Amino acid sequence: MKYTQQHEWIRVEGEVGTVGITTYAAHQLGDVVFTELPPLGKSLIKGTEAAVVESVKAASEIYAPVSGDVIEINQALGTQPDLVNTDPLGAGWFFKIKLKNPHELDDLMEEAAYLSLTGESH
Terminal Cα distance for the chain, rounded: 14
- Reported as a pLDDT band with limits 50, 70 and 90, residue 119 is confident
Is residue 47 packed enough to be buried (19+ CB in 10 Å), middle (13-18) or exposed (0-12)? middle
Cβ contact 66:17 at 8 Å = yes
- pLDDT at residue number 122: 52
Domains of the chain: 2-108 (2.40.50.100)
pLDDT digits (tens, 9 = 90+) for 63-92: 999 999 999 999 999 999 999 999 999 999
Cβ contact 62:50 at 8 Å = yes
- pLDDT at residue number 29: 94
Give the number of other CB atoms < 10 A from CB of residue 84: 26
Q: Is the whole model's pTM more than 0.85, yes or no?
A: yes
- Reported as a pLDDT band with limits 50, 70 and 90, residue 13 is very high
